[in-house]
Chains A and B, each alone.
Chain A
Amino acid sequence: MKNSVFGAVLAGPVLLAPYAAMAETEIQFWHAFTGRLGDLVAEQVDTFNNSQDAYKVVASHKGNYSETLNAGIAAFRAGEQPQILMVFEVGTATMMAAKGAVKPVYELMADAGADFDPDAYIGAVKGYYTTEDGQMLSLPFNSSTPVLWVNRDALAAAGVDPDADLSTWQKVGEVLEQLKAGGEDCPLTTAWQSWIHLENLSAYHNVPFASKDNGFGGLDTELTFNGPLQVQHIQTMGDWAKDGKFIYAGRRNEGGANFRAGDCALFTESSAGYAGIKAEAQFDFAVRPLPYWEGVEGAPQNTIIGGASLWVMQGHEAEEYKGVAAFLNFLSSAEIQAKWHQDTGYLPITVAAGELTRAEGFYDANPGTDVAVIQMTANQPTANSKGLRLGSFDQIRGIIDEELEAVWAGDKTAQEALDSAVGRGNQLLRRFEQANR
């Protein structure tokens, strides 16, 4: 009763509005971008709206990634869901499990009779959002992968060759030693510790993060990131933290402020940090591939993505879905993707966009911007490096953050911390399995 009254009041103006432009079908698009990224999304939407007059996409900012997902879920429960919802990669399993709430992209494209070639998308990007039998569920939107950012001036100031080999963690360890000896206060810092130093570490060395092909094979998956490789890496980082070679700044990308201000020499962060670092850094910087442990068989494999994809929600008209299909195809076009890739440092989602960017000479003019693309696409993804599909993953990351903090503070050994994180995470996976059976 209350809902219907409020609904009528709110819907009044909305219902009247279309008379002005009867022909246009409105499509709601909820996203999580502000600032420069928000402007760039608005620009894409404007370009689409101006390119045709059958559909009008209305983009709305709904807060950060978690808030946007929550807004979408709450709206679905109230029957007010948008046609398109942006969901970050860790929410993938949640969306996948909600079969009655989402309309898979492959199905949308088939229903709308739109041109759709899943092979046009870069394998390592689309793999994250594709079922085991190769059907794409959501459209990759912004995808990045972790790389190593280098403050060349800081290296030189500490008496280290700015072109020193940093391809392996062994070599990085040597350089950290020299940096420390050279008086550097913050030799290494990181953003998104779980994503870079456990999730990507595992994929990059072709070891599983979770059983059942990292969760792609079913909800009865269990975490396995307490293996010898991960323990060795986290223990090494913990030792570096104790020696003041690795400075922990926070759970998200707090370390970015330190690096951009020139306070830190090395920084592991997403390739999408490019826009910010380029805008703010008052020093000579370089992008290097993420280091790997030399001697581990199969390394370096490929890194996995972070970022978000666009999910289409159930419960709308066929005509609206046609518009959604047209908009998603527009976003995937080579020109739009190439511009997005060059503006933001996010990966191009299609092979064609990458080739177009190279042909335009962008990589030559901006050295290092192709490091992430090469790192992602160097090898065909394996079951361990296709991505992760774990329920309650946002919360599991929170648990990993807590346990890693115990290692950085010297309260736990890497083995203890990772064992504990695996045990606690598995409990959440079991609850998720129960809730979605």
Chain B
Amino acid sequence: MEKRVTFQGWLLPLCLITPQVVISAVFFFYPAAQAVWQSLYLPDPFGLSSRFVGMGNFEYLLSDPYYRTAIGTTAVFSGLVTLVSMVPALFLAVLADRLIKGAGTYRTLLIWPYAVAPAVAGVLWLFMFNTRIGVVAWYLGQLGYDWNHVLNGAEAMGLVVVASSWGRISYNFLFFFAALQAVPRSVIEAAAIDGARFWRRFFTIVLPLLSPTTFFLLVVNVVYAFFETFGVIHTITSGGPQQATTILVYKVYADGFVGQDLGSSSAQSVILLIIVGLLTVLQFKVIEKRVHY
């Protein structure tokens, strides 16, 4: 029954696949292997000498209560970023999907923030919430709320979550919007004729049909929150106040490039790799079962 297109011989497929394999090997596998290798050593910054410590770097990390706290902080942070970047995106996509006039303009405007680099987004949000000259901080002050993310950990976390999610909403919007367009009209119309109202139709028909997209975005956004939010944290809080916004990837940077402790930094990269790997496997095992393709 199944139709297959197959190549004659080996040469052409090999040529086609080689570039991708080489790129993956040079830019992903080789550095990853190096990180694993380095995580077993305690080198000096200049690479003049290096001591083999086996699992020493991992023992040091896992016995450090501040590292364990950072794992918790990362869980909270990535959970919030995923939520805050997906729910509004879906909401906006549903609204844009119902537009009859000017849909193109709305779509373009909603996609724009995605073009802003995380570090720049961080500076923009910091500027608005700056405790002294920030517009938003000033209005909050007028309302009697004393905004101070420099000392208040919860406010700092809120700020980095919003700044990290903002551009991401556009990305998610794009996918949700495309998926919504693909929902067959006939099914919705049939439900409407049966008397189902909008929200009823949304939750029983549209949302289940969106599940492949939602699942894909869930995986991608968690990975984003883990790895690509460094710029936002660096520009807004540098991991502070205290350690309220020190997520794992920021600690990799701080220990490796501020502390020049490359052994510990590599070990942290390896742990991060394992966590994200496990998380992705978990998502595929548990959640994908509920996804209807």
The answer to whether B254 and A405 have CB atoms under 8 Å apart is: no
The answer to whether B48 and A98 have CB atoms under 8 Å apart is: yes
Q: A98-B44, A405-B240, A434-B42 are in contact. Are A428 and B150 (CB under 8 A)?
A: no
Q: Which of B10-18, B202-210, B258-266 contacts A (4 or more CB under 8 A)?
A: B258-266
Q: Which of A11-19, A245-253, A324-332 contacts B (4 or more CB under 8 A)?
A: A245-253
Flag whether A411 is at the interface (Cβ < 8 A).
Answer: yes
Flag whether B60 is at the interface (Cβ < 8 A).
Answer: yes
User: Shortest Cβ distance from B4 into chain A, in angstroms?
Assistant: 38
Flag whether B257 is at the interface (Cβ < 8 A).
Answer: yes
The answer to whether A392 and B132 have CB atoms under 8 Å apart is: no
User: Shortest Cβ distance from A66 into chain B, in angstroms?
Assistant: 6
Which of chain B's residues has its CB closest to A397's CB? B258
User: Which A residues lie within 8 Å of B88 (CB)?
Assistant: none
Q: A251-B238, A263-B132, A409-B241 are in contact. Are A76 and B46 (CB under 8 A)?
A: yes
Flag whether A118 is at the interface (Cβ < 8 A).
Answer: no
User: Which A residues lie within 8 Å of B238 (CB)?
Assistant: 251
The answer to whether B60 and A431 have CB atoms under 8 Å apart is: yes
User: Which B residues lie within 8 Å of A431 (CB)?
Assistant: 42, 60, 261, 264
Q: A257-B132, A405-B241, A409-B152 are in contact. Are A435 and B255 (CB under 8 A)?
A: no
User: Which A residues lie within 8 Å of B151 (CB)?
Assistant: 248, 405, 408-409
The answer to whether B259 and A392 have CB atoms under 8 Å apart is: yes
Flag whether B242 is at the interface (Cβ < 8 A).
Answer: yes
User: What is the 8 Å Cβ interface bit string for chain A, positions 216-233, against chain B (1 contact, 0 not)?
Assistant: 000000000000000000
* Cα(A432)–Cα(B60), bound, Å: 13
The answer to whether B260 and A94 have CB atoms under 8 Å apart is: yes
* Cα(A249)–Cα(B132), bound, Å: 9
* Cα(A43)–Cα(B138), bound, Å: 42
* Cα(A100)–Cα(B45), bound, Å: 12
Which of chain B's residues has its CB closest to A436's CB? B44
User: Which B residues lie within 8 Å of A77 (CB)?
Assistant: 46-47
* Cα(A401)–Cα(B238), bound, Å: 11
Flag whether A131 is at the interface (Cβ < 8 A).
Answer: no
User: What is the 8 Å Cβ interface bit string for chain B, positions 109-139, against chain A (1 contact, 0 not)?
Assistant: 0000000000000000000000111000000
User: Shortest Cβ distance from B212 into chain A, in angstroms?
Assistant: 40
Flag whether B66 is at the interface (Cβ < 8 A).
Answer: yes
Which of chain B's residues has its CB closest to A264's CB? B132
The answer to whether A435 and B46 have CB atoms under 8 Å apart is: no
User: Which A residues lie within 8 Å of B44 (CB)?
Assistant: 97-98, 435-436
User: Shortest Cβ distance from B186 into chain A, in angstroms?
Assistant: 57
Size bracket of the A interface: 35 or more
User: Shortest Cβ distance from B101 into chain A, in angstroms?
Assistant: 46
Flag whether B43 is at the interface (Cβ < 8 A).
Answer: yes
User: Which B residues lie within 8 Å of A73 (CB)?
Assistant: 45-46, 260
Max chain B Cβ within 10 angstroms of own Cβ: one of A98, A249, A254, A398: A398
User: Shortest Cβ distance from A251 into chain B, in angstroms?
Assistant: 7
Flag whether B51 is at the interface (Cβ < 8 A).
Answer: yes
User: Which B residues lie within 8 Å of A94 (CB)?
Assistant: 45, 260
Q: Among residues 13 to 69 in chain A, which have CB atoms less than 8 Å away from a CB atom of chain B?
A: 66
Q: Among residues 404 to 437 in chain A, which have CB atoms less than 8 Å away from a CB atom of chain B?
A: 405-406, 408-409, 411, 424, 427-428, 431-432, 434-437
Flag whether B243 is at the interface (Cβ < 8 A).
Answer: yes
User: Which A residues lie within 8 Å of B133 (CB)?
Assistant: 257
Could you say which of B51, B64, B66, B243 contacts A434, with CB atoms under 8 Å apart? B51
The answer to whether B257 and A66 have CB atoms under 8 Å apart is: yes
User: Which B residues lie within 8 Å of A432 (CB)?
Assistant: 261
User: What is the 8 Å Cβ interface bit string for chain B, positions 41-73, against chain A (1 contact, 0 not)?
Assistant: 011111110010000000010001010000000
* Cα(A405)–Cα(B241), bound, Å: 6
User: Which B residues lie within 8 Å of A434 (CB)?
Assistant: 42, 51
User: Shortest Cβ distance from B136 into chain A, in angstroms?
Assistant: 18
* Cα(A401)–Cα(B60), bound, Å: 22
* Cα(A437)–Cα(B132), bound, Å: 47
User: Shortest Cβ distance from B24 into chain A, in angstroms?
Assistant: 16
Which of chain B's residues has its CB closest to A393's CB? B259
User: What is the 8 Å Cβ interface bit string for chain A, positions 378-408, against chain B (1 contact, 0 not)?
Assistant: 0000000000000010110010011101101
* Cα(A245)–Cα(B157), bound, Å: 26
User: Shortest Cβ distance from B151 into chain A, in angstroms?
Assistant: 5
Could you say which of A392, A427, A435 contacts B51, with CB atoms under 8 Å apart? A435
Could you say which of B43, B150, B254 contacts A398, with CB atoms under 8 Å apart? B254
User: What is the 8 Å Cβ interface bit string for chain A, positions 87-115, against chain B (1 contact, 0 not)?
Assistant: 00000001001111100000000000000
Flag whether A333 is at the interface (Cβ < 8 A).
Answer: no
User: Shortest Cβ distance from B74 into chain A, in angstroms?
Assistant: 17
Q: A98-B45, A431-B42, A431-B264 are in contact. Are A398 and B258 (CB under 8 A)?
A: yes
Could you say which of B42, B46, B264 contacts A100, with CB atoms under 8 Å apart? B46
The answer to whether A435 and B150 have CB atoms under 8 Å apart is: no
Which of chain A's residues has its CB closest to B238's CB? A251
The answer to whether A392 and B260 have CB atoms under 8 Å apart is: yes
The answer to whether A395 and B254 have CB atoms under 8 Å apart is: yes
User: Shortest Cβ distance from B29 into chain A, in angstroms?
Assistant: 15
Max chain A Cβ within 10 angstroms of own Cβ: one of B43, B48, B254: B48
* Cα(A435)–Cα(B45), bound, Å: 9
Flag whether A170 is at the interface (Cβ < 8 A).
Answer: no
The answer to whether A100 and B242 have CB atoms under 8 Å apart is: no
User: Which A residues lie within 8 Å of B263 (CB)?
Assistant: 435
User: Which B residues lie within 8 Å of A408 (CB)?
Assistant: 151
* Cα(A230)–Cα(B66), bound, Å: 24
User: Which B residues lie within 8 Å of A249 (CB)?
Assistant: 131-132, 150
Flag whether A282 is at the interface (Cβ < 8 A).
Answer: no
Which of chain B's residues has its CB closest to A405's CB? B241
Which of chain A's residues has its CB closest to B259's CB? A395
Q: A257-B132, A409-B241 are in contact. Are A70 and B257 (CB under 8 A)?
A: yes
User: Shortest Cβ distance from A411 into chain B, in angstroms?
Assistant: 7
Which of chain A's residues has its CB closest to B57's CB? A431
Closest CB pairs A-B (n = 6): A395-B259, A405-B241, A101-B46, A98-B46, A77-B47, A409-B151
5 A–B contacts, CB within 8 A, in A order: A94-B45, A261-B132, A403-B242, A431-B42, A431-B261
Binding site for A on B (CB under 8 A): 42-48, 51, 60, 64, 66, 131-133, 150-152, 238-243, 254-255, 257-261, 263-264
Given A257-B133, A261-B132, A406-B242, list of 6 further CB < 8 A pairs? A66-B258, A100-B48, A398-B254, A405-B240, A428-B259, A431-B60
